[in-house]
Amino acid sequence: MVEDTEDVGEAVVGAFTRLGHAVDWQKTRAGSADALAVQDYALIVLDINLPDGSGFDLLAEIRSKGLQTPVLVLTARALVDDRVDALDTGADDYLVKPFDFRELEARARALLRRRQGSATTTLSAGNVVLDPRSRAVTLDGRPVELTRREIALLEILIGQPDRVFSKSDLLDQLYGFENEAGPNAIELYIGRLRKKLAGASAEIRTLRGMGYQIVVNKAPRA
Amino acid sequence: MVEDTEDVGEAVVGAFTRLGHAVDWQKTRAGSADALAVQDYALIVLDINLPDGSGFDLLAEIRSKGLQTPVLVLTARALVDDRVDALDTGADDYLVKPFDFRELEARARALLRRRQGSATTTLSAGNVVLDPRSRAVTLDGRPVELTRREIALLEILIGQPDRVFSKSDLLDQLYGFENEAGPNAIELYIGRLRKKLAGASAEIRTLRGMGYQIVVNKAPRA
DNA sequence: CCTCCCTTGACAGGTTGATGACAGCTAGCG
DNA sequence: CGCTAGCTGTCATCAACCTGTCAAGGGAGG
């Protein structure tokens, strides 16, 4: 909470505290910058008129440092241009004084809610990661270039690590019923995958006569 | 865009289209639910008064299904309780009619920005910078002249660097339901972008059979 | 030592993407 | 109201690369 007006600050701090949130109340731009350098906040409520500088500058500073903390701006001026500027400077929301506390609370809830989205839907084995949505594969964070078939095959294997897939299993899943391919095709792609994933902490193992499985290497204790 | 009033709808659709965004305009709650089941949107602008039900119900339905698409609610009533209800039902923002289009655009930008994960107001990859507000693109600070479609395509790619976008992903985002285009259109615009961004430290790469991605070239330490 | 199965290199065919030319359309302007 | 300029998207052609078969060389297990 960055706010230099006593009564507004007290009211807001009181309201959030009653809701069970911990609040730091800073009254200057400098103090706020210091606090932000030390602490990681879930939400910043920022007044624009500060004794030692504009809240806009503080906001710009925050964003230029790459901080993604949601910011809710408070101001006394209701001009449309002010709001547009605030939002384009990197604010997430905007409220004009005087405001209703219920609305402040609601907007704060909406911003906090946003935070915890984005479930991880990626498949991984060791340092090999496959994102089925973008169909991109990375090894230690570095992108690996795979072709469509190679990714399709890897996706099957990595979806159930340690499970053994017979060649006919793989053929059925990779090709429709009609356009079957020879069993060699699988062996071929296994080879190509191994080559492209060299250096990974996961390995495609052959079980003679049974099929293939992907396994994560135990720590090489080297 | 969910809105049953003709003139408001036309104005908003026109504004976003001019900015290079693809817009689907639904006039009923039922139609919107159908569209949402099929398509993945970057933003939903939702009017509350609909002929076949309340927008609140649609909003609740969206959230109950786990969809995290940002929702901006439009309404004619300025009551505080309405706003609080909207935000608590899962809306991300709220605007009272009549509103200024600049503000609608700014709020839409803020919501879209948040989804991309970056809190900063400009998108960049290497020395290529895109300012969504002015829809201007610069290369090493020098302005590059791009057309609407070119900017829209670049905006998608640069919003998530390294991510691979399939051609159908791009088609869905660039064109609404109505004016679909052939896959060649994408290839064409990729080519045009590459030509206009020649010499940049970022590059649009082709992953055959999978799609396109934008990557920043590692420093050539020359 | 022998057999079967896997591995790997090379190759032909087919699919996918790149590119130049062109027509429809929109918008701005006189 | 008509005209021009530029944006848009389709077609056709060509190049690049993926795909899967063949065949020849290993290696594990009996």
At B28 the pLDDT is: 93
For the domain covering B6-115, report its CATH number.
3.40.50.2300
Q: C2 C1' – A192 CA distance, angstroms?
A: 30
* Measured distance CA(A109)–CA(B168) in Å, rounded: 35
Q: How far in angstroms lies nucleotide D12's C1' from the CA of residue A148? A: 27
pLDDT per position as a tens digit, A40-75: 899 999 999 888 888 899 999 998 888 888 999 998
Say if pTM beats, i.e. exceeds, 0.85. Answer: no
The widest CA-to-CA distance across chain B, in whole angstroms, is 64
- Low pLDDT (below 50) residues in chain A: 221-222
CA–CA gap between residue B35 and residue B38 (Å, rounded): 5
- Give yes or no on whether A6-115 and A123-216 have one common fold: no
Which of A87, A116, A130, A149 best tests the B interface by mutation, with the highest count of B CBs <10 A?
A87
Domain spans of chain A?
6-115, 123-216
Q: What is the spatial distance between Cα B181 and Cα B173, in angstroms, rounded to a whole number?
A: 12
The Cα A132–Cα A135 span in angstroms is 5
- Kindly provide the residue ranges of all beta strands, DSSP E only, lying in A173-210, ordered along the sequence: 202-207
Question: Rounded to whole angstroms, what are the CA distances from B57 to A36, B30, B48, B53?
Answer: 39, 11, 9, 7
How far apart (Å, rounded) are the C-alpha atoms in residues B94 and B108?
11
Asked if residue B183 has a cis previous peptide bond (ω within 30° of 0), the answer is no
Options 3.40.1790.10, 1.10.150.530, 3.40.50.1000, 1.10.10.10; which CATH number does B123-216 get? 1.10.10.10
* Residue of B84, B117, B163 with shortest CB distance to A134: B163
User: In 3-state terms, what secondary structure has residue A49?
Assistant: strand
Q: Do A31 and A59 form a contact (C-beta atoms < 8 A)?
A: no
Query: Which chain B residues touch A147 with a CB distance below 8 Å?
Result: 208-210
Distance (Å) from the alpha carbon of B209 to chain A's nearest alpha carbon: 6
pLDDT of chain B along its 222 residues, tens only? 999 988 888 888 888 888 888 899 999 999 999 999 888 899 999 999 899 888 899 999 999 988 889 999 998 877 878 888 889 998 999 998 888 888 898 999 999 888 777 767 888 899 999 998 888 999 998 999 999 999 999 999 999 888 899 999 999 899 887 668 889 999 999 999 999 998 889 999 999 999 999 999 875 544
Judging contacts by C-beta atoms under 8 Å, the chain B residues touching residue A132 are none
Taking CB atoms and an 8 Å cutoff, what residues of chain B touch A80?
100, 102-103
pLDDT at B222: 41
Structure tokens at A155: 């996706």
